[in-house]
Chain A
Amino acid sequence: MPNLYYQLHQYAEHLESAVPRVSPDEARQIAAGQAVPSRHTQRRGWKRGMIIGTAATLAALVSALVIVILPAHSSTERITTAPATQSSRRSRIAETLRTGPVTSLALGYHSLWVSVPNAVRRVNPSSGVVEATVSVPGNNPHHFVAVGGGAVWVASDEGQGLLDEISPTSNSIVQSYILPGTPTALTVGFGRVWIAIAPATGGADVLGLNVTTMKFSRPIQLAEADSISAGLTAIWVATGSRLVYINPFSLRVNQLPTPNSRTFFPLVVAAGDGSIWAGEQSTGLARINPNTGAVEAYINITANAVSVTPNHVWVTGAVTSSDTGPSNVYDLSPSTNRIAGKPLTIPGTASALAAQSSAAFVGTYSPGTITVVTASS
């Protein structure tokens, strides 16, 4: 970890920002018995909150009874309410684009970048129009696209592995880098392009390409790297058997401070909205506190891709165990940890997911479509 003292300073500032100051007036009021310190106030407030809460509940029950018992006498306007266990949000399929087999999706530079065999397509996310097609070598499904650091990055298994840098200005490849293994995941963050590769010698390596110096970091060795995400001060890697994070500056690998107590098999990971979201393909999605490693919520849905935007966690997962079957698209509210409405089902297995604000783009390799899903309030 570079510069421990700098980080201590940052931590101290953060710690202090959460604690309000004690004023001379407050001290005098406490001395005069006219006030109590905040913790006691909160406890009293808790009791007061209970009383108010109970009163509010009773009032709500009475209101509900009035509505149920006296519908004919009230207004003719129909009042509908969402079930208590679900958010009132509903997602809908806005559009389906036919683009060919989609291997990966990324959003950036006002465009949706779609990786398909032998090419990357630049699509206008509003109109669905393909604005440019950039030929890239390799026609395998193992293509990954990511955006950031002034470029669009495509990792493919061409040869032993290749990383192409596409300029969003010229829509052409400006540089290619030979990788020492087949790419398994790709992300951009903290001034580097992070590529997880599977070298021929086994295991997994994570490489960081500095987008300023264009030099690769030393390989960071892991047992496996199925998914990678940059955010919340670290690079998070799902290794299939645990979650690890890489300090993006020192490149040191750590586990979460407090390992999860139960066996955990994360295959996808996304950092966002203050949490780490890790999906176990066949069982569910865990919301993990990055500070403690504690699983704060566990949602029983299949999850093969996760994307986090403000107020939305988008998840795709198979409806059945079949590799070619339909997929569900879930819109999860991070404030309640609940699925908004019913999941949307799309044909084919979701192979890629990208999201921005309240819209998600779900790609399939077969039948080769991009489904645009929007969340409405």
Chain B
Amino acid sequence: MHDPPDDAATEVAAFERFVREVEIPLRRALVAHYGSETGRDALAEGLAYAWTHWRKIAALENPAGYLYRISANHAKRLTRTNPPVPSVIAYNTSIRFEPALPWALSQLSARQRTAVLLVHGWGYSQTESAKILGVSESTLRNHVSRGVDRLRHLLGVTADA
């Protein structure tokens, strides 16, 4: 349990601002890596950790990248204790992607899938994506490049018209 902050209202406001800033990119990255349920639960645990250790987190240079690793550890623990729940995509006519795309993404390594979806799915820059995942830009570039190549191979894409 965290110690009550000196100025509770300021701490709460700072934490809420921080959550507003990092929640969406972290949720996206964790869901892309671990699936919808585990990814979200891991993020909730990660943000709870952030509140408990707020002073330490607030002082970090890249708190989002640190929390991603903390949340990822929670995700690994969750997947050890509870088998992952398969993500089911409910098809409807508003979906505009090839039916084989979810399957093809599932064939990528989790890091490749996360990197590809952050950069090409949600449109983060490589610098932003590397920061979220807490990896170097060259590592991220490798994951994206190999992931896209593998997707093209799996889906038989020769060119992007």
Contact = CB atoms under 8 A, between A and B. Distances in A.
A245 interface: yes
A232 B99 CA distance: 8
Contact of A18 (B15, B36, B105, B148): B36
B15 A4 contact: no
A39 interface: yes
Nearest to A37: B41
Interface in B44-69: 44-45, 47-52
Interface in A1-15: 1-5, 7-15
Nearest to B47: A27
| Interface size band for A | 35 or more
Nearest to A29: B48
Contacts, number: 167
B15 A24 contact: yes
Nearest to B152: A4
Interface in A302-359: none
A38 interface: yes
Interface string A14-34: 111011111110111011110
B100 interface: yes
A376 interface: no
Interface in A234-248: 234, 245, 247
B95 A14 contact: yes
Given A4-B155, A27-B48, A257-B99, A12 B28 contact: yes
Contact of A231 (B1, B93, B151): B93
Given A15-B32, A31-B51, A232-B91, A37 B40 contact: yes
Return the 7 tightest CB-CB contacts between A and B, nearest first.
Answer: A12-B121, A27-B47, A37-B41, A257-B103, A30-B48, A31-B48, A7-B97
